[in-house]
A and B are shown apart, each in its own frame.
Chain A
Amino acid sequence: MLNQKPMYGYQMIKEIEKKSNGVFEFKEGTLYPILHSLEAANMIESYWWGSEGSRQRKYYRITPKGVKGLREKQAEWVTFRSAVDKILTGEAYAWR
């Protein structure tokens, strides 16, 4: 999500809820340890934004290193998914 635009925590939760039609539901608090560890690994970076006195939000955006990491993970996921697909469709034939 962050490779499209910088976001803050609450916004990410809302976005995940919307995009997954409520399939992904998790405790919101667990998002922050993940964000902080990604930041410690330099995959994303954060900055505070918001006018003085009113609400300050901590936005996160992806770094070049994060983009690279994301591509690798995506490639991994594609291989994994196609493997699972193959097994599942194979099983489907077997069952028939």
Chain B
Amino acid sequence: MEVITNEKLISYINEICSQVKFREVHREIELELKTHLQETVEEYLAEGFSEDEAVNKAINQMGNADRIGKQLNKVHQPKPEWSILVLSLFFVSLGLLAMFFIEKHGLLGFTPDPVPILFIKSFIFAIIGAAIITGLYLFDFRKIEPYSVHIYWGTVLMLVLSVFAGQPVNSTNYLTLGPVSINFVEISPLLLSIALAGILHKWDWDKSKKLLQGLLLCVMPLLLILACSSITAAIIYTAVCITLLIVSRAKPRAFLTLTSLVSGIIVFLIINTPYRLQRFMAFINPEKDPSGAGWLNLQLSQLINGSGSFGQGLTEKPDFVPGLHTEFVFSYLTFTFGWVAVGVLIALIVLFITRMTRVAVMVKNNYARLVLSGFTAIFTVQFIWNIGMNLGFAPISGVGLPFVSYGGSQLILNAAALGIISSIYRRRNIRHTC
């Protein structure tokens, strides 16, 4: 059967589509209306009408193109996922507030400038972040899918460079590219999440060869991340892999293998590196070495226990703890605003994660679903780990509280993730992949 080529019909359909401002749905509407009109025309042809008459009758039966187009436009008007954006804006503002007062009280561990430089920097990064979100929202994210393999190997290459050519800064290898040195390892889970989503969303996990190949694709970057000695990024990346395996319907055996392999490697690495073992022991029993390894853990718990239900207020200055503006901003917030406010903050974080999960379930395109699931995993691990280590439930590491902690590159990264989420949400009803 031939798809209709009648000019009158085509211009009629184009007239309807011209009313729909969201161009990316045009193809699907076009195809749907075409098949409908074609069937009507065929029916009239079978009744003995001429082609011209049949087409006229079919169009007449369809109704006014302008009106249908306007109605369709109303349905397909893209609405951003406001709740996720508003929540993250709130987290960012909270971070800015904390930055301002931490700086005012001189809690940075170095002599404070007369101008609140951290606050201003964070503010500028927040604005850049907003621009990135808007840009990515307008961009059709599914266009990236064909380049998944390139992104994957590009990331692997950068990781290899980080391992062999990177300079260690705070024990993690930074990659120096000309004048800037970047913590590429920190970015890699996000990039790999995008790449693996594109590679694995049509993966045939039932074949043993494919299963092995898939696991290898997951494990190789992991080893490189570990070689840059970032256990944090390794754990976040592992969470991404496991989520992607589950969502792309791999057999339980696949992700069980991966989990046991990774936990084996990590336990080995913790036991084999003295400073990590020390940190871990400090987490288990901080009282054993209160002035050495356990000092930070004890200081944090003191800070948090001193807060009370409603906090000490912004005018009060807590004892000095290093990293209060970064990893331990949660402790500062607890000290300042108290348990009740922190309860509300945690509830909002849970809401944030639930909204993201909901979008992942709702989205029709399978590739987009995988990307979203990976991102949800990244955010979830970061939130849980950071809050956990502030409260003494998790070992201390370099994980910041997303959006709240100080850190320009991390904020930009999170903004990029939000932009991609918004882009996917906007196109949630489109199934076709470009």
Which A residues fall within an 8 A CB radius of B? 8-10, 27-30, 32-33, 36-37, 39-40, 42, 47-48, 54-58
Contacts and interface: CB of A to CB of B under 8 A. Distances in A.
B178 interface: no
11 contacts: A10-B39, A28-B63, A29-B67, A30-B63, A32-B68, A33-B68, A33-B74, A40-B75, A55-B1, A58-B32, A58-B35
Interface of B: 1, 16, 28-29, 31-33, 35-36, 38-40, 61-65, 67-68, 71-72, 74-76, 362, 429, 431
Contacts of A10: 35-36, 39-40
B68 A29 contact: yes
Nearest to B16: A29
A37 B75 contact: yes
A27 B33 contact: no
A48 B364 CA distance: 13
Contact of A32 (B38, B61, B72): B72
Given A36-B76, A39-B429, A9 B71 contact: no
Q: What 3 A-B pairs have minimum CB-CB distances, sorted nearest first?
A: A27-B63, A33-B71, A29-B68
Given A29-B63, A56-B35, A36 B68 contact: no
A9 B32 contact: yes
A27 B35 contact: no
Contacts of B1: 54-55
A28 B62 contact: yes
Contacts of A33: 68, 71-72, 74-75
Contacts of A32: 29, 32-33, 68, 72
Given A9-B36, A10-B40, A27 B62 contact: yes
Q: Is the interface of B mostly helix, strand, loop or mixed?
A: helix
Contacts of A37: 74-75
A42 B361 CA distance: 12
Contacts of A39: 429
Contacts of B38: 55
B358 to A, nearest CB: 11
Contacts of B65: 29
Contacts of A8: 35
A27 B61 CA distance: 6
B31 A58 contact: yes
Nearest to B29: A32
User: Which one of A9, A32, A40, A47 has the greatest number of beta carbons of chain B within 10 Å?
Assistant: A32
A28 B38 CA distance: 13
Interface centre among B16, B32, B39, B76 (most CB of A within 10 A): B32
B25 to A, nearest CB: 9
A66 B237 CA distance: 38
B35 A30 contact: no
Nearest to A38: B75
A33 B64 CA distance: 13
Nearest to A27: B63
A46 to B, nearest CB: 8
B300 to A, nearest CB: 44
Contacts of A36: 72, 75-76
Given A33-B68, A40-B76, A42-B362, 7 more contacts: A9-B32, A28-B40, A36-B76, A37-B75, A54-B1, A55-B38, A56-B35
A26 to B, nearest CB: 8
A33 B29 CA distance: 10
A18 to B, nearest CB: 14
Contacts of A9: 32, 36
Contacts of A55: 1, 35, 38
Contacts of B62: 27-29
Contacts of B33: 29, 32
A68 to B, nearest CB: 17
A57 B32 CA distance: 7
Contacts of B32: 9, 32, 58
A30 B31 CA distance: 16
A29 B62 CA distance: 4
Contacts of A27: 61-64, 68
Contacts of A29: 16, 33, 62-65, 67-68
A40 B429 contact: yes
Contact of B61 (A28, A40, A48): A28
A68 B376 CA distance: 29
Contacts of B74: 33, 37
Nearest to B70: A33
Contacts of B68: 27, 29-30, 32-33
Given A39-B429, A40-B429, A54-B1, A28 B36 contact: yes
A90 to B, nearest CB: 39
Contacts of B40: 10, 28
Contact of A57 (B35, B71, B75, B429): B35
Contacts of A40: 75-76, 429
